[in-house]
Amino acid sequence: MAGISSLREVGSQSPLAEADDADLARLLEKPKVNIERQRSCDEISFSELTVNIRAADGFENIYSPGGAGFDTPASSVRNSFEPHPMIGEAWNALRSSLVFFRGRPVGTIAALDHASEEVLNYDQVFVRDFVPSALAFLMNGEPEIVKNFLLKTLLLQGWEKRVDRFQLGQGVMPASFKVLHDPHREVDTVVADFGESAIGRVAPVDSGFWWIILLRAYTKSTGDVSLAETPECQKGMRLILSLCLSEGFDTFPTLLCADGCSMIDRRMGIYGYPIEIQALFFMALRCALIMLRHDAQGKEFVERIVKRLHALSFHMRSYFWIDFQKLNDIYRFKTEEYSHTAVNKFNVIPNSIPEWIFDFMPTRGGYFVGNVSPARVDFRWFALGNCVAILSSLATPEQSMAIMDLIEARWEELIGEMPLKISYPSLEGQEWMIVTGYDPKNTRWSYHNGGSWPVLLWLLTAACIKTGRPQIARRAIELAESRLLKDGWPEYYDGKLGRYIGKQARRFQTWSISGYLVAKMMLEDPSHLGMISLEEDKAMKPLIKRSISWSR
């Protein structure tokens, strides 16, 4: 039929035809199940989550009061926080970005900047961009749009995915999708992008992880376990997991990725094992472990997840963590060590340590570095990876506090006049030429190269609440409120302090708007944190020495 043929002309193809919308309608009609629980599954240790011990379904105790005090019942009070002139404007702008498919809201477009001459793909619904919008709607007691989005992207996952005659893995989630309206024929169709149209042609590794994390957030917020228990959602999770848990030649438990596979979607030297992907990978594994059913198909994945989480947490906490003491240890490393007794396991050359980090590293404080691979440590700070490490409890409580110490100690560098630096420091000169390939958008202190992104405000706020440092979030939100609305909700800011609206930044960027709303609502009602935070596993003991930055 015409709708499907128009999809095939664009690229990605769907064998589902009209069944696509029928399946969506069928899934939406399934009844909600609200279950009061006694013990939070987030508190159950990995060691307890084995097939032999735990035969109950994967949602045991996911919805409970108690525990860490962050559990989130479905909100019954909208806009219950202290009013601010920006809040009403933000909600109006967010609702203006809604996208509808056959009468149902299924997401929000990336930006609604009428002044921009180039639309590019900013008129599409991005999986990663929709997450803060979804959280805002969940916190405001409007879960249906989130449910619709989860189901629509799940159906898109089943499409045939080809890039230059090469077929992608079944589990790949789209980077984005666009709804095409034909008012004359009254037909809506969808075009999805799995990387074949993206700048750089890189498939989004993070989309699948964000989808699992958002499914858990929806379940935690509403108490509706029936959605994630559907065979379709269970299969969707297993397909994502089969991609990232596959065996290969890698000797590390981290996930090997190409440059441009995440929020930093252009060449920025993050290929290999970027912190953002590893932290999202860890969090998605923990969320999937909670939601997977222990049936014949789920048992194998549960066992593989438990093993991977143990290995991944040890690897990340041991080799990606840096503080004053660890920096001094690397500075004194010997090289060319062989055998299992080697201290410098990745053969990092001390002379490769950049000069800036010696002044940047405070006596108290630390963070997860951007990347670790043979003979190479990327010492840059990346905001998203470190915040997600706190929220997922990949970071130990001591490490989480040290990250907050670092942010406070280096406020001018990381926050400046507009929160929050996506990365620090910027690449400049010859290094910028080599690493970015002369990228004119990622010049120094701009865009991904040290630019300031308001969307990161919600992640910072969540990390602050979890670590008991709400004053940091409050200070950052006040900075954002002084400019965001006046500047038209820009995508990013430029300059060392984030003083200037980004040279190519879109205005009315949806995740800048929703990121502010989520931060505001979370600060006013910290119970919302429960939908996006996981408590530390009690059985997971860090096998690393305490350093001076952890002494409080």
Percentage of the chain lying above the pLDDT 90 cut? 73
Collapsed DSSP state (helix, strand, coil) of residue 401: helix
Which range among 155-159, 489-493, 519-523 shows the weakest confidence by mean pLDDT?
155-159
Q: Would you state the pLDDT for residue 543?
A: 47
Helix (H, G, I), strand (E, B) or coil at 322: strand
Spatial separation of the C-alpha atoms in residues 409 and 34, rounded to whole Å: 44
> For residue 1, what are its two tokens?
């039929």
The predicted pLDDT at position 5 comes to 33
CB neighbours of 310 closer than 8 A, spacing ≥ 6?
Answer: 46, 540
pLDDT at position 550 = 36
Which of 151-165, 214-228, 345-359, 503-517 is least confident?
151-165
Backbone angles phi, psi at 14, to 5 degrees: -120, 130
Partner residues linked to 192 by β-bridges: 177
How many CB atoms within 10 Å of residue 395? Answer: 32
Stretch 465-481: mean pLDDT: 98
83 vs 410, residue with greater confidence: 410
Confidence bin at 25 (pLDDT 50/70/90): low
pLDDT band at residue 27 using 50, 70 and 90 as cut-offs: low
Q: Give percent of the chain above pLDDT 70.
A: 83
Crossing angle of helices 144-157 and 19-28, rounded to 10° = 140
Render pLDDT for 355-372 as a digit per residue (tens, 0 to 9): 999 999 999 999 999 999
Q: How confident is the model at residue 161 (pLDDT cuts 50, 70, 90)?
A: confident
- Are 179 and 97 in contact by the 8 Å Cβ rule? The answer is no
Taking each helix axis from N to C terminus, what angle separates 127-139 and 206-222, rounded to the nearest 10 degrees? 10
Q: How far apart are CA 14 and CA 30, in angstroms?
A: 24
> What confidence score (pLDDT) does residue 162 get?
76
Q: What is the pLDDT of residue 118?
A: 80
**Per-residue pLDDT band at 26 (split at 50, 70, 90):** low
Query: pLDDT tens for residues 185-228?
Result: 889 999 999 988 888 888 899 999 999 999 999 999 999 999 99
**pLDDT class of 99 with cuts at 50, 70, 90:** very high
| Rounded average pLDDT over 102-124 | 91
pLDDT score recorded for residue 159: 85
Average pLDDT on 146-162 reads: 93
What is the CATH number assigned to the segment(s) 83-531?
A: 1.50.10.10
pLDDT tens sequence across 3-15: 333 333 333 444 3
Band (249; pLDDT cuts 50, 70, 90): very high
Give the Å distances, CA to CA, from 330 to 317, 335, 345: 15, 10, 11
Distance CA(224)–CA(229), nearest Å, equals: 10
Average pLDDT value for residue range 397-426: 98
Cβ(108)–Cβ(130) below 8 Å: yes
pLDDT at residue 247, rounded to an integer: 87
pLDDT tens profile 43-66: 444 444 433 323 333 343 443 332
Distance CA 306, CA 327 (A): 31
pLDDT digits (tens, 9 = 90+) for 374-389: 999 999 999 999 999 9
The dihedral sign for the CA sequence 251, 280, 455, 362: negative
